[in-house]
Each structure stands twice: as C-alpha cells, then as structure tokens.
C-alpha cells in the first residue's frame, strides 16, 4: 500500500464508527497494542514534552525506508501515534517529509494535533518529518 492508500484505509475503517466513544475505544486498543519503548531507552533526546502528556520518539533508517518507534504516557495519545506509525512506517524519507497527513482530519482527530492541545503530538509529527529530512 502507498502512503496515500494507507491513509484512505484508516479513513474507511473509522467510517464504521458512528459514536465518538466507539472511535476512542478503537484508538485506546491501538494504544495498548503498540509496543512500549523500554524505560531505559526513554532518554531526554527522544522526549517530546507536551504540557499534558509526554511522547518519546525513536527512528531507524534502513534499506531506504524509515521505521518509527514511539511511546506516550497517555494511552489515547499513544493510539494516535499508532495510527501515524501505521501510515509512515516503511516509507521513503522524502515521501514522509512531504506527506500531507490528511487522514487525521478525515477521522475527526485534528484537535489532537493542534499545537494548543499540548499533548506533544503536533511536535511529534514535526519531529518525524525532521528525522526523515535528515536522511533524505
């Protein structure tokens, strides 16, 4: 699947929920399934402080593709991270750097990425793109 196809698949998946609580139930499950970053590896250079919840981000560049590992102390934040990783993992850095992550809007979660939400997600997306740019 291309990056765009992955986004469309998520939008499709979310269109099944007609209730906010169902949507969040799903996101929470994603958050619970996302592998944790080991506490010992949560160094400060990987930490993105939001005023409400913290995010840790790590990345790998291998064989022309990026992989991201991320964690958060808040489970909803983590679930949304899970979605972002689904979309951006195994993509070329240049595609990541120029990607328009419209699915977030498409599934009604744009409020979580607003810089005023202070959960670290907006800065995380920025950082994911920066890390992609570094290896472009």
Partner 1 sequence: MESTAKRKFSVREIREDFPALRQLIYGKNLIYFDNGATSQKPQFVLDAINRYYSKDNANIHRGVHYLSQKSTSDYEDARKFIANYINANSTNEIIFTKGTTDGINLVASSFGELLKEGDEIIISAMEHHSNIVPWQMLCERKKCVLRVIPITKKGDLIIEEYEKLLSSKTKLVALTHISNTLGTINPIKEIIEKAHLVGAKVLIDGAQSIQHKKIDVKDLNCDFFVFSSHKVFGPTGIGVLYGKEKILEKMPPYQGGGDMIKKVTFEKTTYNELPFKFEAGTPHIAGGICLGKALEYVSQFNMEDIENHEMMLADYAQDLLSTFEDMNIIGESKKKTSVVSFVVDGVHPFDLGTLLDKQGIAVRTGHHCTQPLMDFYKIPGTVRASFAFYNTKEEIDVFIAAVEKGISMLK
Residues in touch with partner 1 (CB under 8 A): 20-21, 24-25, 28, 51-53, 73-77, 119
Comparison of 7 and 77: residue with beta carbon closer to partner 1? 77
List helix spans (H) across 1-136.
3-14, 20-33, 75-88, 93-97, 103-106, 110-113, 121-135
Report in angstroms how near the CB of residue 25 gets to partner 1 at its nearest: 6
Comparison of 74 and 84: residue with beta carbon closer to partner 1? 74
Comparison of 119 and 123: residue with beta carbon closer to partner 1? 119
How many other C-beta atoms lie within 10 A of the C-beta of residue 28?
14
Report in angstroms how near the CB of residue 91 gets to partner 1 at its nearest: 28
Q: Which residues contact 81 (CB under 8 A, 6 or more apart)?
A: 31, 34, 55, 70, 71, 72, 121, 124
What interhelical angle do 75-88 and 20-33 show, nearest 10?
Answer: 70
Point out the catalytic residue in the list 39, 51, 63, 116: 51
Report in angstroms how near the CB of residue 104 gets to partner 1 at its nearest: 15
Comparison of 12 and 22: residue with beta carbon closer to partner 1? 22
Give dist(CA 120, CA 136) in Å, integer. 24
Least Cα distance to 31 among 109, 93, 116, 128 occurs for 109
Is 136 tagged catalytic?
Answer: no
Report in angstroms how near the CB of residue 43 gets to partner 1 at its nearest: 19
Q: Which residues are catalytic?
A: 51
């Amino acid at each position: 699947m291309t990056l765009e196809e992955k986004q469309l698949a998520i939008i499709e998946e979310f269109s099944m929920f007609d209730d906010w609580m169902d949507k969040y139930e799903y996101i929470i499950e994603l958050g619970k399934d996302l592998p944790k970053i080991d506490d010992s590896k949560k160094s400060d250079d990987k930490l993105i402080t939001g005023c409400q919840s913290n995010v840790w981000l790590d990345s790998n560049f291998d064989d022309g593709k990026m992989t991201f590992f991320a964690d958060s102390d808040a489970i909803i934040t983590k679930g949304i991270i899970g979605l972002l990783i689904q979309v951006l993992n195994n993509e070329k850095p240049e595609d990541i750097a120029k990607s328009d992550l419209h699915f977030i809007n498409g599934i009604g979660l744009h409020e979580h990425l607003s810089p005023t939400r202070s959960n670290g997600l907006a800065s995380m997306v920025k950082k994911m793109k920066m890390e992609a740019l570094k290896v472009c």
